Structure 1
Amino acid sequence: MEQSLFLAEEGTSSLSKDSLVKGTIILALAALIARVLGAVQRIPLVHLLDDSGMATFSNAFNIYMMLLVLATAGIPSALSKLVSERNALGQYGEAQRIYQAAVKFALAAGAVMTVLMLLAAPYYEKISGVPNASLAIRAIAPALLLFPLIAIMRGYFQGRQRMAPNGLSQIIEQIVRLVAAIGLAYLLLAIGWGQAWAVAGASFGGVAGSIGAVLVMLYYAVLLKREDRRNGQVGNKTVTAPMSHRDIYARLFKLSVPIVLFSMAVPLINAIDTTITVGLLQPDLSHEAAVNALGILGGRAQSLAGIPIILAIALSQSAVPVISSAFAKKDHALVNSQASKALYISVLSGLPLVLAICAAARPINIFMFGNADGTGIIVLLTASAMFQIVMQTSGAVLMGIGQMRPLIVHVCIGLVVKLACSYLLAPTFGIYGIIASTALCFIVMAQLNLVILRRHVDYTILGKKWFGLAVTAVLVYAAGFGLEWLTHRYVQPFGYRWSHMLDAIIVGGAVMAVYVALLALTKVVTAEDAARLPAPVQKIMRRLKRKPGTAGN
């Protein structure tokens, strides 16, 4: 099956008008499955570890993610861009040399970051104020040995516009992580080792997931090598002086420094939260209550708020090689159309997921975690994801056209906004002030990205239809909120948690259906606009716009 998935992509390796959408669909479906598995993993972990244990788990995971980005230094995205450009120009041998140099860097960087994470763990525990964080951080540290290599391989496949290997490796990684994390946490509690070791066992699930992912990537690497030999894609079709390793690293790092800062924006924001939240909340809350609030933010809200940005991340990964290839060929019309398509799809597809989760936050929270604690936190953080979607997609387009330097400035400004607003708002609004500072950070970065993008790309998103979309969003959320109130009171046919699962399905499904219907009825999406969407969505929109009685005409 894996080989058939890989071969099915052969026709998408060249730049076509649908390559962005095809790559996005593959990555989005894989990321959605992986995200669902990640969220499912947290249900038994919250039960096993409770909110204080999840605070420790989130602390270790966030610092690990930050170091992982540092370990790869943005090389995967830079590699994707360079490989895509070289292949577009027929320089296949040069693309392979760049890839091999990046692999060497990943292996060295992974070893260095693993040692750094092991040594720095106790110091970070003292700074964050989260108990037993050191043990959990050290448990997940060995994953850094393999994940930089995995990231580099994903970047190479992304540059070749082969998204199936990346997607399947994400799914296998999450399945192995889930089984190992839950199994080890349960086992360590069962034999009486206590919560601290159980959290460390859950963290070690990341190491097991990295092993599963690297095996998938190595398998696909063998398949691609065989295909290249069959197609004669070896050596350079264009005669050029080969780049030395020194030149390759210089080019990679020149591209990767802005990319790494942009890629680190969200991990840094999460790391800021895990570092300062307990201290900022303690003047008004006990230490235990502050740790529990952080546990809800990291263990519940972040996992659910991450679902709407799945498509934006997939679009970002697909957009960089597609736009880079068009930009290398100086096809500005294609750059404009692909940039517009990426931004358009990210907004229209991200919004219904945000609305559905916000409207159904209470039943989702009860079903997944056993109670309604922190429902407001989930709603506010999920709402902020809409701005993260625009920030992520616009940043990817800037990468594709080589506008790297502005990304450094925008991330730095955004982080300053995040820190300043956290300290200003937390004393008055508590945990909600910290979440509001995250939303403001995303708003500032997204707006700055769009301003710079407008100078170089003639893009359009919705034009004059923003008001109609805003009205649609308000009406959809109001309908979902009212329906959730009714189902919470009157639709409870099963046990406590299973009834709320049914409520979440009803509310979420209704929100999605009403959203699509209103887009058509308010003409926010016209027939011309629908042509920019994936084919299945186009069919749905056409059916919704068809008037009663005209089906047979």
Structure 2
Amino acid sequence: MRKQSLLKGTLILGIAGILAKSMGILFRWPLIMLIGDEGIGYYQMSYPLYTFFIAVASGIPIAVSKMVSEKNAIGDKSGAVQVLKNALFLMLILGGGFSAFLIVFSRQLLELFKWHENSYYALVAISFAPLIISIMNSIRGFFQGMQNMYPTAVSQVIEQLGRVCIGVGLAYVLLPKGIQYSAGGAAFGAAAGGFLAGTYLIYKYLRVRHEFDGIRVKRDSRILGKLLRLAIPVSLGAATSSIMGLLDSLIVPSGLLQAGFNSVQAATLFGQLTGKAMVLVSVPLTLSVALCASIVPTISDANILGKRNEVISKVNMAIRISWVIALPCVLGLYFMAAPILGLIFPGHADGYKILQVLCLTIPFIITLQTSTSMLQAIGRIYAPIINLCLGCFIKVIITYSLVSMPSINVYGAAIGSIVGYMIASVLNFRLLKRTLKISINYYDILIKPAFAAILMIIAVVFTYMYVYNITVSNGVSCLVSVAAGGILYSILIFVFGVFKYSYIKRRFLRQ
């Protein structure tokens, strides 16, 4: 089975993730054209429950990745297969139970969270996804543990393609029945995409299963216990982030009502926050998620073999990649918020100021995600959860206090996210430095990428203005300027020595 380095694995998953996110944005565009911000609001009100399950279940694939990597490092292929079998057992119970819970108690959940009754159909439709996603994520964890990122990458694209085609198709077909039914059809796309991606992953696993022929898979009761010990704290941490989204869906709409907005205006503002701003902010976070998926198995592999220098080297590289990703993204989304929303949602570009505020969370979220993965890989499982819980607590207090103020309204949720993630990421980073006793070269890791990103955004803004004066087309100007900025930034990263070509050639081109 093919293995990839940290950089190559990150790039493979990053490209697939960006492609999947791009399709996800294309998914939002026809939806907004069909059902508007109000319909997106109904769709988004139920979506946090689905993401909450994904967060709760996320510990299993990460634990699988870590344990499979460790088993593979010491040549225990039988143990690697046993890890996957135990993970599938756990995830089937968890996913099936959550799907049944959502279906049976959907009406009660609407009353509990005080959601609009029109969001009922989206909630029921998305209830089928957890069971399917459970199987898919277990197999993804297995391949990531074997340090083969291709199956996960391809499955991400398949999943999103199925969600877009089937979700938008159902939304269109059901639109004559009402916006609420159309939103429900769109939500069902999550289950459909997961089914297609899961089918592909099962096929890929059966194809590589021959590598384990002749190996007797021994039943080991300790594997299930270790899976749970690793998965539960990871899931708690991920669930805390998801709970922040759930609390937003509870606090923000009701807070906007207290601020004097009517129910439709509240749903519209909530749709702009979660259906536009959060979606665009999540695009660069896809690269961070790809980095995290590569970090856990590669650092776990080196850590269990006692290769301290290799662990420190990979930690430094991961931090460097994090800031190379974060800085241009936050500047690009801040200064190009209106043109980008105008490009993706023609005629529905309201909410760009919300995006400008929310995008300031990107550096802190990426730092938090990567530092959490590195700490988990070296065995510090619980500390990142405590830090995240503290950040979540502060975020809730700020959001609750600010959203109900008419002059701040929905921006209070974005401000709360900035402060909460900033505190959690700083605490994580300090713990990582103290645990590994490493010193960070901030000039190479932060100052150089920052300088390159500033030059990039200056070029992007001037290019946009120049092209717009010639073409009078926001779409053409936005695409040309962003493409030019991406090319310039890539060149500057090498010119300033953030990455050296010799390292890229050694770690990527030859692997």
Structure 1 residue 451 and structure 2 residue 430: aligned? yes
Give the counterpart of 1:530 among 495, 500, 507.
500
Change (3 A) 1:184 1:396: same
C-alpha offsets along residues 100-121 of structure 1, whole Å, 9 cap, x if unaligned?
1111111111110101111332
Residue in 2 that maps onto 1:334: 310
How far off its partner does 1:381 sit?
1.7
How far off its partner does 1:130 sit?
3.1
Change (3 A) 1:429 1:214: same
In 2: Cα distance, 1:149 partner to 1:19 partner: 26
Which one-letter code corresponds to 1:502 in the other structure?
A: V
Are 1:26 and 1:164, in contact at CA under 8 Å, matched by a contact in 2? yes
How far off its partner does 1:287 sit?
2.2
How far off its partner does 1:503 sit?
1.7
Give the counterpart of 1:512 among 446, 470, 486.
486
Residue in 2 that maps onto 1:422: 399
Residue in 1 that maps onto 2:171: 185
Secondary structure at the aligned position of 2:187 is classed as helix
Structure 1 residue 379 and structure 2 residue 362: aligned? no
TM-score of the pair, normalised by structure 2: 0.92
Residue in 1 that maps onto 2:412: 433
C-alpha offsets along residues 277-331 of structure 1, whole Å, 9 cap, x if unaligned?
1111223322221110101111111111111112111010011011001110011
Are 2:327 and 2:449, in contact at CA under 8 Å, matched by a contact in 1? no
Secondary structure at the aligned position of 1:307 is classed as helix
Are 2:5 and 2:507, in contact at CA under 8 Å, matched by a contact in 1? no
Which one-letter code corresponds to 2:192 in the other structure?
A: A
Are 1:182 and 1:202, in contact at CA under 8 Å, matched by a contact in 2? yes
Give the counterpart of 2:37 among 39, 51, 54.
51
In 2: Cα distance, 1:53 partner to 1:117 partner: 21
Change (3 A) 1:179 1:331: same
In 2: Cα distance, 1:429 partner to 1:492 partner: 37
In 1: Cα distance, 2:251 partner to 2:273 partner: 13
Give the counterpart of 1:68 among 34, 54, 57.
54
In 1: Cα distance, 2:30 partner to 2:373 partner: 35
Of 377-386 and 405-414, deviating more is: 377-386
Are 1:359 and 1:507, in contact at CA under 8 Å, matched by a contact in 2? no
1:314-393 superposed matches below 5 A: 314-370=290-346, 371-393=348-370
Structure 1 residue 140 and structure 2 residue 126: aligned? yes
Of 113-122 and 157-166, deviating more is: 113-122
TM-score of the pair, normalised by structure 1: 0.86
Q: Supply the RMSD in Å over aligned alpha carbons.
A: 2.3
How far off its partner does 1:150 sit?
0.6
What percentage of aligned pairs have identical amino acids? Answer: 28
How far off its partner does 1:265 sit?
4.1
Residue in 1 that maps onto 2:179: 195
Are 2:58 and 2:238, in contact at CA under 8 Å, matched by a contact in 1? no
In 2: Cα distance, 1:375 partner to 1:487 partner: 21
Which ranges in structure 1 are unaligned for 5 or more consecutive residues? 1-9, 13-17, 237-241, 494-498, 540-553
Structure 1 residue 310 and structure 2 residue 286: aligned? yes
Of 40-49 and 18-27, deviating more is: 18-27
Change (3 A) 1:87 1:472: closer
Residue in 2 that maps onto 1:296: 272
Change (3 A) 1:403 1:214: same
Are 1:335 and 1:457, in contact at CA under 8 Å, matched by a contact in 2? no
Residue in 1 that maps onto 2:228: 253
How far off its partner does 1:514 sit?
4.3
Change (3 A) 1:468 1:534: closer
Secondary structure at the aligned position of 2:388 is classed as helix
Residue in 2 that maps onto 1:93: 78
Structure 1 residue 120 and structure 2 residue 120: aligned? no
Residue in 1 that maps onto 2:87: 102
Which one-letter code corresponds to 1:318 in the other structure?
A: S
In 1: Cα distance, 2:475 partner to 2:233 partner: 42
Which one-letter code corresponds to 1:282 in the other structure?
A: L
Are 1:320 and 1:397, in contact at CA under 8 Å, matched by a contact in 2? yes
Are 2:60 and 2:231, in contact at CA under 8 Å, matched by a contact in 1? yes
Give the counterpart of 2:208 among 197, 216, 224.
224
In 1: Cα distance, 2:421 partner to 2:361 partner: 8
Which one-letter code corresponds to 2:415 in the other structure?
A: A
Secondary structure at the aligned position of 2:130 is classed as helix
1:10-89 superposed matches below 5 A: 10-12=1-3, 19-70=5-56, 72=57, 74-89=59-74
In 1: Cα distance, 2:306 partner to 2:507 partner: 31
Which one-letter code corresponds to 2:78 in the other structure?
A: G
In 2: Cα distance, 1:517 partner to 1:248 partner: 47
Which one-letter code corresponds to 1:108 in the other structure?
A: I
How many aligned residue pairs are there? 503
In 1: Cα distance, 2:12 partner to 2:507 partner: 15
Which one-letter code corresponds to 1:404 in the other structure?
A: I
Residue in 2 that maps onto 1:5: none
In 1: Cα distance, 2:162 partner to 2:486 partner: 31
In 2: Cα distance, 1:58 partner to 1:517 partner: 39
Of 217-226 and 118-127, deviating more is: 118-127
Change (3 A) 1:432 1:471: farther
Are 2:59 and 2:231, in contact at CA under 8 Å, matched by a contact in 1? yes
Are 1:73 and 1:257, in contact at CA under 8 Å, matched by a contact in 2? no
Which one-letter code corresponds to 1:402 in the other structure?
A: G
Are 1:315 and 1:393, in contact at CA under 8 Å, matched by a contact in 2? yes
Change (3 A) 1:482 1:121: farther
Secondary structure at the aligned position of 2:148 is classed as coil
Are 1:91 and 1:235, in contact at CA under 8 Å, matched by a contact in 2? no
How far off its partner does 1:476 sit?
4.0
How far off its partner does 1:513 sit?
4.0
In 2: Cα distance, 1:538 partner to 1:140 partner: 39
How far off its partner does 1:346 sit?
1.6
In 1: Cα distance, 2:109 partner to 2:63 partner: 30
In 1: Cα distance, 2:506 partner to 2:48 partner: 36
Which one-letter code corresponds to 1:510 in the other structure?
A: A
Of 437-446 and 507-516, deviating more is: 507-516
Of 394-403 and 380-389, deviating more is: 380-389
Secondary structure at the aligned position of 2:250 is classed as helix
Structure 1 residue 174 and structure 2 residue 149: aligned? no
Change (3 A) 1:111 1:532: farther
Which one-letter code corresponds to 1:273 in the other structure?
A: D
Of 529-538 and 320-329, deviating more is: 529-538
